[in-house]
Amino acid sequence: TLGFGMTTPATVAGKVFLIVYGLFGCAGTILFFNLFLERIISLLAFIMKACHERQLRRSGLLPPNFRRGPSMSGVGSLVGWKPSVYHVMLILGIFAITLSCCASAMYTAVEGWNYVDSLYYCFVTFSTIGFGDLVSSQNAAYQNQGLYRFGNFIFILMGVCCIYSLFNVISIVIKQVLNWVLKKFECRCCPKCHKSSAHLRRRNAITPGARLRRHNISVDADGQYDSDTEGRRLSGEMISMRELTASNKVSLAILQKQLSETANGYPRNVCINTRQNGFSAGVGALAIMNNRLAETSDSR
């Protein structure tokens, strides 16, 4: 999806082949990016929870011999703990900047660009904008050409995956800010409007700092919420460790559902058959696919 344009098909057969191959190639690439996003967020959540447990031990809130497992349900400080979406965004941002700086150093040394142009090229490439004004590996010959092209491939692959993950997390933060702004513009002077907005309030309009106003949340033994108004996922938090662990064993549709629920601030209600099959509503075309998978997954 970069589309630099320095190499294009010239014949009719080549153009037809590109259209057919691109349908599967682009779909497979997006699937790879989503799987990378799932794994990197799972890894970050695991590391952040380990750091959180270590901090609780130092403060004396956890016993020194505490181990993860069934006993975790008895520790109130860790029940329902979720890493903050802002912390995940910060870590991904630092990793993206570090990767871009390293790649820019390579392009500056090999391609002869100045460092700012190299950083510009990294952002245009990693974000799949692909203007094509700067394209790497276009000279006739390079010193250690094979090694350079391999390094170029690795940097572009990792850079696109990292920026794709960062964009997904930033989209959650943008939605939170927009919901907060929309709530600030609610009509509070008109009792009729205020009454209707209280009854039909957007469920995903979670304001920053709502975590501090939350208190007791009742959760049943299966980890499902008791009602539609209790235990909604905080918009400033990512999915829980239990959900992250379970997402590694199910389809990609579950990851998209969890990310959508995180952005919306509450879990969607799904039917019993859908929950048993492991599929639920998603967003747009994904919702259609999930519903179809839920209907046809009984035979699996």
How many domains, in total, are found in the chain?
A: 1
Contact predicate 179/235, CB 8 Å: yes
Q: What is the pLDDT of residue 60?
A: 77
- Residue 52 maps to a domain: yes
**Buried/exposed 62-101: b ≥16 CB within 10 Å, e otherwise:** beeebeeeeeeeeeeebeebbbebbbbbebbeebbeebbe
CA distance 158 to 39: 13
| E strand or H helix at 180 | helix 145-184
Q: Residues 68, 216, 54, CA angle at the centre, nearest 5°? A: 30
Low-confidence ranges of the chain (pLDDT < 50): 70-76, 202-207, 211-212, 214-232, 234-236, 270-272, 274-275, 278, 300
Domain enclosing residue 50, as ranges: 12-59+83-187
- Residue 145 maps to a domain: yes
- Residue 53 maps to a domain: yes
Look up residue 36 and give its amino acid. Answer: F
Q: Write out the two tokens for 44.
A: 């970050």
Q: What is the pLDDT of residue 151?
A: 96
Residues β-bridged to residue 49: none
CATH number where 170 lies: 1.10.287.70
- Residue 270 maps to a domain: no
Helix (H, G, I), strand (E, B) or coil at 74: helix
Look up residue 228 and give its amino acid. Answer: D
Q: Write out the two tokens for 109.
A: 């040394």
pLDDT in tens, 133-163: 999 999 988 989 999 999 999 999 999 999 9
CB within 8 Å of 95: residues ≥ 6 apart: 162
Q: What is the pLDDT of residue 226?
A: 41
Q: What is the pLDDT of residue 83?
A: 82
- Residue 284 maps to a domain: no
Between the CA of residue 36 and those of 92, 162, 168, 212, what are the distances in Å?
13, 9, 12, 32
Q: What is the pLDDT of residue 59?
A: 82
CA distance 125 to 127: 5
| E strand or H helix at 218 | none
- Maximum separation of any 2 CA atoms in the chain, in Å: 74
- Residue 212 maps to a domain: no
What's the helix, strand, coil split of the chain in %, to 5? 60, 0, 35
- Residue 96 maps to a domain: yes
CA distance 269 to 230: 13
CA distance 175 to 188: 22
Structure letter (DSSP) for residue 268: P
- Residue 229 maps to a domain: no
Between the CA of residue 231 and those of 47, 104, 116, 216, 264, what are the distances in Å?
24, 45, 47, 9, 13
